[in-house]
Amino acid sequence: MNELPILTIITLLPLVSGIVVAGLGEHRKLARGLALTSSFLSLALVLGLWRSFDGNSGLLQFVEGPHAWIPTLGVQYYLGVDGLGLLMVLLTALVVPMSLLASGRVADRPHVYYGLVLFLQAGLVGTFTALNFFHWFIFWELSLIPAFFLVRLWGGAARAAAATQFFVYTMVGSIAMLLAFLAIFLATSEPGQPGVFDFITLADMARSGTLEQLLPAKLGWIDLTARKLLLVVFGGALLGFAVKVPMMPFHTWLPAAYSEASSPVTMLLTGVMSKMGVYGFVRILLPIFPQHINWMLTPLLWLAVITIVFSACAAFAQRDLKRMLAYSSINHLGYCLLAVFAVAKFTNAPQFATEKAAALNGVFLQMFNHGLTAAALFWFVALIEQRSGGLRGLNDFGGLRKVAPIFCGLMGIALFSSLGLPGLNGFVGEFLIFKGVFPLAPWAAAFSVIGLLVTAIFILTILQRVFNGPLNEKWSKFPDLTLGEIALLIIPIALMFVLGLYPRLVLDVINATAVQMVEQLKF
């Protein structure tokens, strides 16, 4: 138990700051300044946590609670982070100020805009630290509301339809997941005793087989067999996370939302919000439903392969830079799904424990590295739009390297990071994922390599069409990056090199958590 509730402070700081900023009125500079101050203060606090974290322990740290909140419903205020949770909180603390720095030209209701960004940050941090479903679900939904309004109010011409589609898809997934956990709550309740919402307890019950026995015994729905009932509950939880990632075929909301949202908002959507779904797969679905994932292992692996390959092909077919990067985001997170499902494969062979730990380490790294790289890429797209009057088509440019070499050079590094070039951060996570998945599900890993090939093709296509070739005379005065822009962008670019050349900076924090998760899986 910590004397200082640091996780609560990190969660409430952006929430309180958002309320203050939203109440400032039309004071753009003041609103942006306060929002940036809050985000940098959050980053400083998270870096302090990172420094104090014991990377040799796979257990939860900085734990607060459990404190009784609504005892009659079994709701507790229970916070804590392991290596995965801390990594996601750090990602949030990095991407939010990046998005705010890229939002300098917001002129329409800036106080509302910056306030919503801070509300979104609070929802994200709460999601990555809460350990009780009721508490966690509040923050899961809290993140949806500001994201909807950020897309709806500051997006492009088709923003209304994109925001509505985003909201409906996510809400349907959330309702399905809520019903699944209400079923679990009812199944684990006793006369005079509320059911269980605690993630740690539910994972223990799943490992012992208690949960699998209680669900059919307490919830005899119609003529469903025990196995079918368990799969229905699992399917509800799966849908909630699959929509958020998103996993195909639940992905159709994402390209519209990413392309119609302003680029700084898309930085938040792809940089952190999409990681909520993968986090849910690892933190909740894998420990509580390992048996059910194993039952559906082959179709789930096929869905992961389809997500990887088809999204890469869809990205190659696009001519809008934001839509290309949107489908690329689906592709990169598909590798995380592939690894999570492979790790759930039951096997008594002890040598596979090492491969599973490698795969989970790869998932954690892929989530963080993709969040950093994707946010940087959409920041570059925002700068292209500012310089071109809103154009971002693949064929709208050409030869920009001749007039803006620094811009093209730095964006090229981010693109190569997304490609997974050795020496940059994008390589390590994908390498570990394939290292772990190949022994566990060789056919799925082999088919997924096609996604790597297609990704290389469309990334190189961007480089060729936008940066190389003859200069389009329309862009002969395309401005290169200013010193201020270089100073801001060099930070994420430097991190790409640091994490690519020295991944132990993160692996030393997350490896014990990955090993602990593998040990706790039911074999």
For 403-431, what is each residue's pLDDT tens digit? 999 999 999 999 999 999 999 999 999 99
Is residue 219 assigned to a domain?
Answer: no
Is residue 513 assigned to a domain?
Answer: yes
Between CA 265 and CA 248 the distance in angstroms is: 23
Is residue 495 assigned to a domain?
Answer: yes
Each residue's pLDDT expressed in tens, for the chain with a length of 523 residues = 457 899 999 999 999 999 999 988 878 889 999 999 999 999 999 999 999 999 998 889 999 988 888 888 888 899 999 999 999 999 999 999 999 999 988 888 999 999 999 999 999 999 999 999 998 999 999 999 999 999 999 988 899 999 999 999 999 999 999 999 999 998 888 877 888 889 999 999 888 888 888 888 777 665 677 778 888 899 999 999 999 999 999 989 999 999 999 999 999 999 999 999 999 999 999 999 988 898 899 999 999 999 999 999 999 999 999 999 999 999 999 999 999 999 998 766 677 888 999 999 999 999 999 999 999 999 999 999 999 988 999 999 989 999 999 999 999 999 999 999 999 999 999 999 999 999 999 999 999 999 999 999 999 999 999 999 888 888 999 999 999 999 999 999 999 999 999 999 999 999 999 999 998 885 5
453: containing domain = 296-523
Is residue 485 assigned to a domain?
Answer: yes
Is residue 224 assigned to a domain?
Answer: no
Report the percentage of the chain scoring pLDDT > 90.
77
For 89-125, what is each residue's pLDDT tens digit? 999 999 999 999 999 888 889 999 999 999 999 999 9
Map 26-53 to HEC letters.
Answer: CCHHHHHHHHHHHHHHHHHHHHHHHHHC
Q: How many domains does the chain have?
A: 1
Is residue 360 assigned to a domain?
Answer: yes
Between CA 428 and CA 13 the distance in angstroms is: 33
Between CA 306 and CA 278 the distance in angstroms is: 17
Report the percentage of the chain scoring pLDDT > 70.
98
- Locus of tokens 């994109």: 162
- Locus of tokens 């990205």: 315
Helices 504-520 & 83-101, crossing angle to 10 degrees?
140
- Picking from 318, 338, 339, 341, the residue whose alpha carbon sits closest to that of residue 328 is 318
Is residue 430 assigned to a domain?
Answer: yes
Q: Characterize the bridge pairing of strands 61-70 and 75-81.
A: antiparallel
Between CA 75 and CA 69 the distance in angstroms is: 6
501-509: long-range pairs with CB below 8 Å, 24+:
501/423, 503/365, 503/425, 503/428, 506/87, 506/364, 506/365, 506/368, 507/361, 507/365, 508/55, 509/50, 509/53, 509/55, 509/83, 509/86, 509/87
Is residue 407 assigned to a domain?
Answer: yes
